[in-house]
Amino acid sequence: MNVQKILALVKMELKNLIREPANLFLMLLFPAVLTIVFGFAFNDPELDMEFSSMVPGLFAYACIFIIMTIAQSFATEREEGLLKRMNTTPMTSGEFMGSHIISNMFIAVIQVIIVYGLAVFLGFRSQGDVSGFFLAFLFMILLSLSSVGLGLITATVSKSPGAATGISFIFILPQMFFGTFMPITSNTRIIGMFLPSFYVTDSLTSIFEGASLTEANILINLAIISIIGVIIVIIGIQLFKKFGNR
């Protein structure tokens, strides 16, 4: 695997993102708009609504939309024949997939900075220290890893970019409702345990309340989201390599 080739592809992917307003909005501007809307609409103590309690969900909510953009990107590249042309070059599938994973992890880091900065501006105050902030970065990077894998799975079964958009919500909606904003009950916890965003939101809530890495639930969640991310990416890559170019 050639590192220089991967970095060149990462640079190309980021340039393509800047040139595509829709993807740029979903990945960068949408988290900002969502944070501002929630900051003003759901910050009313008289109605027992606190914006701070929703901030962990905002991090995860922004990152899961990578599923849609990844699915659209691969479906478009397949439709335009780019993937078949790349098969005739010396570039390996591992280098190609690796560039997408790295570029989207980079985007996830930017999303964390945007959401956190706006949340602080709107009154959010974390009880955690600097190490907790970097720990939040780690969880978001791992969530983006699983989102890339789910995006690859979506692109594999999609006939067109439009179909990829619709099918991606099969993975997005459950994580929206049971892994981010909805209160988790004994019944919904069973569903949430199958969703990557559940473990991220749960951990970020503890981190922002001042918990450290040594807290048992954070270490367990970190291990679970790492395993889930790696498994989903491997499944996504294998499925896309086998069926994605057809």
Contacts of 121 (CB under 8 A, 6+ apart): none
Q: Residue 205: give the domain boundaries.
A: 3-243
Percent of the chain with pLDDT over 90: 2
In eight-state DSSP terms, residue 53 is: G
Among 37-51, 164-178, 189-203, 214-228, the least confident range? 37-51
The answer on pLDDT for 76 being more than 70 is yes
Dihedral of the alpha carbons of 143, 139, 196, 213, in degrees to the nearest 10: 170
Two structure tokens written together for 17: 């993102």
* Mean pLDDT computed over every residue of the chain: 78
Q: What are residue 44's DSSP bridge partners? A: 49
Q: How many domains does the chain have?
A: 1
Residue range 126-140, pLDDT digits in tens: 777 777 778 888 888
Contacts of 10 (CB under 8 A, 6+ apart): 99, 102, 103, 106
Helix, strand or coil for residue 44? strand
Q: How confident is the model at residue 227 (pLDDT cuts 50, 70, 90)?
A: very high
Q: What's the confidence (pLDDT) of residue 43?
A: 65
Average pLDDT value for residue range 170-186: 78
